[in-house]
Amino acid sequence: MTPPAPSLRSELAPPARRPFRVKVCGVREDAAIRRAAELGASFLGFVLYPPSPRFVRPERLGELLEAVPPGVRTVGVTVDPTDAFLEHVLAHAPLDILQLHGNETPERVRAIALATGCRVMKAIRVGEARDLEGIEAFFEVADMLLFDARPPRDAAWPGGHGLPFDWRLLEGLALPLPWALAGGLDAGNLAAAVALLAPPIVDVSSRIERAPGIKDLDKLEAFMAEARRLGALGPEEAQAC
């Protein structure tokens, strides 16, 4: 089973605007930060996992955050971070949200939230129905969930591969907290995703790049234009998470 094909865009386009917000992830450059914010992104994600080509050093991240306008939430993407690493990151970069994209248990998620005082977004890697088993354990300890495609078996990092998963696996899933849909989204398939799932947040990264870690501003603009057409809210319109 595969996600609805982009060719179904016209048939699946929602009959009415469905409010959602956009997270632009894997940002490393001032120009991309400014343009994403100008176009209405509500969240900007910064990868803090060294093997990733989108990695940003905590010291550099502190400088990048100076370009983020008020109201846009900043997200630090980590993978099984240690307490010492998180302390180092937050000493240089006062992030709003920590995205945990590794094998963190519910107990670890709770501990990180208590230790840092940050809101926590737990990523769930999805390839088949059994990957969703037990996610209820995160409902009381995470502030948000993010559903991303399970990475290729030999991948050196767990996200940002431009791969969609079978979105139908999430149909009918009752979630009591905000959540984001990630994995292979672009301007061509966003309408299908919104029509099928009406996600509160959509997360875009590698499909709007000209090279890993370098955002293509034309693709970013096309994605944000499509998002606005479908009902995306800007930071000034959306309540903070």
Domains of the chain: 17-169+178-230 (3.20.20.70)
Give burial (CB, 10 Å; 0-12/13-18/19+) of 190.
Answer: buried
Tokens, residue 136:
């209820």
Residues 25-54 pLDDT 10s: 999 999 999 999 999 999 999 999 999 989
Where would I find the H helices in 2-53? Answer: 9-12, 30-39
Average pLDDT, stretch 70-82? 97
Q: What is the pLDDT of residues 138-184, one digit of tens each?
A: 999 999 999 999 865 664 445 444 678 999 999 999 899 999 999 99
According to DSSP, residue 20 is labeled: B
Residue 74: what pLDDT? 98
What whole-number distance in Å separates Cα of residue 90 and Cα of residue 74? 12
Mean pLDDT, the chain, integer = 89
**213 vs 41, more confident:** 41
pTM: 0.88
pLDDT in tens, 113-139: 999 999 999 999 999 999 999 999 999
* Active-site option among 83, 96, 131, 148: 148
Return the amino acid letter for 89.
V
Q: 1: exposed, middle or buried (C-beta count within 10 Å: 0-12, 13-18, 19+)?
A: exposed
Number of H helices, E strands in the chain: 7, 10
Structure tokens at 51: 């093997």
DSSP alpha helix (H) spans, 141-216: 190-197
Question: Which residues have CB under 8 Å from 202's CB, separation 6+?
Answer: 20, 21, 22, 23, 180, 181, 182, 185, 190, 193, 194, 227, 232
Active site residue 148: yes
- Is 9 a residue whose pLDDT tops 80? no
Per-residue pLDDT averaged across 52-58, rounded?
Answer: 93
User: CB of 116 within 8 A of CB of 130?
Assistant: no
